[in-house]
Amino acid sequence: MDAIDLKIVRALQLDGRMKIGDLAEKVGLSPTPCARRLERLQNDGVITGYGARVDPRKIGLPVTIFVNVELEQQSAESVRDFERAVRAFEEVMECYLMTGSRDFLLRVVAADLEAFDAFLEHRLMRVKGVRNIGSHFALRALVRRDVLPAM
């Protein structure tokens, strides 16, 4: 990636609906080479998709919970099984394989405490191989970025 590719990525992070002509002007290219670069960035997996940023509170999901999960064993198969299970849970917005005493960190959204309780009881606690679960409720978001830092 060169400086122009980085400009394209940055511009699209700020406005993913930007037309190719406007994008080309913003990064100092004509539309055709800009479109070729954009296609390459998409094909190479640098740009992984486009979508609307939605405020979860405005659609009835005001509660954010960070959940630590420890597995009974840390084999490759156990990790794959857990990953497969949580991918099916719409409430899980992010899932990270971690170092340290916990194996995974999940960011979960819920409508309320009862909905989170139901998620735990009927979904997460039923995943084979889970040894321990710990939850931390977010009081409010202080920083939330969707744009990566400039390179």
* Domain carrying residue 89: 56-137
pLDDT of res. 150? 80
Q: Has residue 145 been placed in a domain?
A: no
- The answer on 126 and 63 residing in a single domain is yes
Total domains in the chain come to 2
pLDDT of res. 140? 94
For residue 135, what are the CA distances in angstroms to 25, 114, 132?
47, 14, 10
pLDDT higher than threshold 80 for residue 128: yes
Q: Has residue 48 been placed in a domain?
A: no
pLDDT of res. 146? 85
- The answer on 108 and 79 residing in a single domain is yes
- The answer on 97 and 39 residing in a single domain is no
pLDDT higher than threshold 80 for residue 20: yes
Q: Can you point out the beta strands (E) in the chain?
A: 63-71, 92-97, 104-110, 130-137
pLDDT of res. 114? 98
- The answer on 132 and 80 residing in a single domain is yes
SS3 124: helix
The average pLDDT across 22-50 equals 97
For residue 69, what are the CA distances in angstroms to 84, 90, 106, 127?
14, 17, 8, 11
* Amino acid at the residue 146: D
Rounded Cα gap, residues 137 and 70, in angstroms: 18
Residue 63's DSSP bridge partners are: 110
The average pLDDT across 22-27 equals 97
Task: Indicate the range of 41-45, 50-54, 112-116 predicted with least confidence.
Answer: 50-54
Structure token digits, residue 16: 């993913």
